Amino acid sequence: MKYDVVLIGSGFGSLTAAALLAKRGLQVCVLEQAKYPGGCATSYKRKGYWFETGATTLVGLDEGMPLRYLLDTTGIRVPLRQLEVPMQVHLPNGQVLTRYGNLEEWIAEAERVFGSHNQRPFWKHCYRISQQVWHTSLQQRSFPFSAPKDLLRAALRVRPGQLKLLPAAFRTMEEVLRKYGLLHNQLFVDFVNEQLLITAQNYLEEVNELFGATALCYTLYRNYYVPGGLINLVRPVEAYLTAAGSTIRYGQQAQRVERLPDGYRTTTNKGSFESRYLISGIPLNNTLKLFQDEKLQQRLEPYLMPSEQLNGAFTMGLVLKGEEPPKVLHHQVHIPEGLPVTGGKSIFISFSDPADVQRAPAGEMVASISTHVPNPGHLVLHDKAVLEEAILEALARQGLLMRENIRSLQSATPGAWIFWTHRAYGAVGGYPQYKHIKPWQMKDARLDHHGAYVCGDTVYPGQGIVGVCLSGIIAAEKLVQDHL
């Protein structure tokens, strides 16, 4: 059978593009090497418990945001519970900072912890930028431009407010903090850096204002918990595809893509699939290895990032029994002295909802823990126990868990990420933001300017479920504009 579109990988960018193309009546086939859909935005089952693979919280459902657009366009329904408080941050000085979802409450909290000097104007500025960014992102679905028709479509959709965003692409978050006189506030600088690391994969001297302000404000939009885990975000998309006559084929590890006179042939470990069009939803480093076309490889080479510029993760999954249910499910803990081996300065922990018996039986919870690993292709973790011990000690010190309540523990290094996901270097979180790479210099959705496209967290706009959802929207739209 020859499909209209074959998509490589079932990350949320691929699933978004697949759903939008299936809605248009195209026969879509998604090839996934694992046994679950969703890539880094899903869950996996171990010994009867459901753990999150990567992402643990969901945003992007407010009006004018990408995930809202996908669900409204397709009619897909996802089980959701809005979080009253998105997150708490445990700072180096022992204070606990609550990231309230309401802007005024959050500003009051920031002033309480960091002092009143310019917190209000700084956060109002960042929130205004973030609103403009999200509003513009769906209006300008031809961005980044890679063909003359993109410019024409962008010109037809341009609004005065969009042009006002342009200077923010040239300013770093370090410059923004300097403007508001906040660089001398070390506690605040450390907070901003560790928050940016989990949302933009880099620090304030590298992240531009457009992405940085948006990343810092994600808790000021509605944050959701998905009962049963993020597997229940992607399963409804899978069901939608099946109902539309399309399919996801599991256990299919893509090995090679060949361009044919009338389309593409994708060869996997189990067979080959022909299609008129192709979308790669796997990282650019992996995508490049699938193609033997030298011109395409030369075109992609400038967009690739080596291990030295990427982040991996050390992750842990816990089963807790008899633990006091937390009032807030998501926490970031700062480690000023740094963790052993990795040097990481923060830990992120997410608990399952105590009432969520899909993920753990009544009276038990699961917890997903992660910390960044720089240069994951070269930093080898020989002794996981040392890092496990340091993380558990830090969490217990903050009162986030009692070690005697740990029923089971598992951990994984970037090497395990390579084994599970096949992502180059075991890198997670997408390509970090760098100041020398402006948004329009990021890889756009067109892969070869024939019939192949790309989406995911290593192309525009980058990180997070909401970001890859937007990349899938753009890939689908450009394919339709180019060929249908």
The predicted-structure confidence for 62-84, as pLDDT tens digits, reads as follows: 999 999 999 999 999 999 999 99
Show Cβ contacts of residue 382 under 8 Å, excluding neighbours closer than 6 positions.
none
Q: What count of residues does the chain have? A: 484
At 255-286, the pLDDT tens digits run: 999 999 999 999 999 999 999 999 999 999 99
Average pLDDT over residues 469-477: 97
pLDDT of 440: 93
Residue 224 identity (one-letter amino acid): Y
Give the burial class of 385: count Cβ atoms within 10 A of its Cβ; 0-12 exposed, 13-18 middle, 19 or more buried.
exposed
pLDDT at 160 over 80: no
Q: What is the pLDDT of residue 45?
A: 92
Give 310-355 pLDDT, tens digit per residue: 999 999 999 999 998 899 999 999 999 999 989 999 999 999 999 9
Mean pLDDT of the 48-65 span: 91
Q: What is the pLDDT of residue 394?
A: 96
What pLDDT score was predicted for residue 159?
Answer: 80
Q: Give me 155's structure tokens.
A: 């010109």
- How far CA 150 is from CA of 154, 155, 426, in Å, comes to 6, 9, 34
Mean pLDDT over the full length of the chain:
94
Confidence category of residue 455, pLDDT binned at 50, 70, 90: very high
Host H or E run for residue 290? helix 284-290
Predicted pLDDT of residue 164: 84
pLDDT tens by residue, 203-255: 999 999 999 999 999 999 999 999 999 999 999 999 999 999 999 999 999 99
Structure tokens, 132: 């403009």
- Whether the per-residue pLDDT at 41 is higher than 80: the answer is yes
Q: Is 68 helix (H, G, I), strand (E, B) or coil?
A: helix
Q: How confident is the model at residue 416 (pLDDT cuts 50, 70, 90)?
A: confident
Q: What average pLDDT does the segment 153-160 reach?
A: 83
Residue 379 has pLDDT above 90, yes or no: no
